[in-house]
Structure 1
Amino acid sequence: MEITIRHYRPDDRDGVNRVALAAFAQYARDYDDWAGFSAGIKRMADLALDADLLVAESGGALVGAVVHVGPGKPRGAMYPNGWSVIRMLVVDPAWRGRGVGRRLVAACLQCALDARAPVVGLHTSPIMASALRLYLAIGFERDMELPPNRGVEYARYVLPGSEVRTAIAALNV
């Protein structure tokens, strides 16, 4: 089935939040405070207020989403203001392994390229093994340990802007 990547629309709100919660549900036992953590996860659509929320759709169903925070947009203190940031890559568990995540990451990297960001940053955890493998395979490098989030280890990963085109090509989308 064909997968389309497009910008978020307000009527996507419930679908984005549903997919985000479903995508993170496998980690419920890993977080010390799953109730608190998941309360933020299920409000993923709110990120569209200050960033580019991209969605993956197939046959009218929302199957994934990701956020691109462009240079100059509000972001966490761990990221310099001029960088692009990838946040909250989520794929409906029933759609994993079909290239949805790759397509969403490629779309985010294209946003970063269009914004001429000098660096693309993201943070992730070893428990998110599939996402981490994807990021490392396309050239992201771990550059900084972050404080644990509700008992889960995290680190920041970076990709120089000069390597974004190569990373997009490596995604084979």
Structure 2
Amino acid sequence: MIEILENIYYFLSKLLPYSFGIALIGFLMSFIADIAKNIKFKKICFILFLQIFVMGFIMFALQEIIIRKIRNEVVEILSDPKTQIITSRNDFEILPNELKKELLKIQDISPNHTGPEDKKPIEVISPKGIFKIFIGRDSANKNQFWIFTDRYEFGKEQEIGRVTSTLIK
């Protein structure tokens, strides 16, 4: 399901430049419609201009749905007792089982205009497959960590959530 939503999102992102062009045409044509005093023509121009906002809303909603589904799937995988995580002792001072418990606290935290400093990989081995989770410490809040995953293309680019913890170092 997530792959299908990702494909729809990427397809729409390819159409975005054309959508901007159509909106620009609609915007410019609206000036002609004002001069011509043609109501029907003005409505068409408005629809051409409005479609960029509809497209933006759809893409934003898709992005939120995809991220939420990825986050829920990662939490589901991590909550499975058969799932193991492998970390490098150099990256984290916390035991893998404790780190796993901390990762289960992942949540959606609103943006705060900061970024992850350095992403450290964690390998996740579960019955549903092997993938990596990347943890990056927030540049401003040292107890907050950004979570990414390579399980899906979208998770590589976008954070799937954040964890606030004093145990992860």
**TM-score in terms of structure 2 length:** 0.28
**TM-score in terms of structure 1 length:** 0.28
Higher helix share: 2
Higher strand share: 1
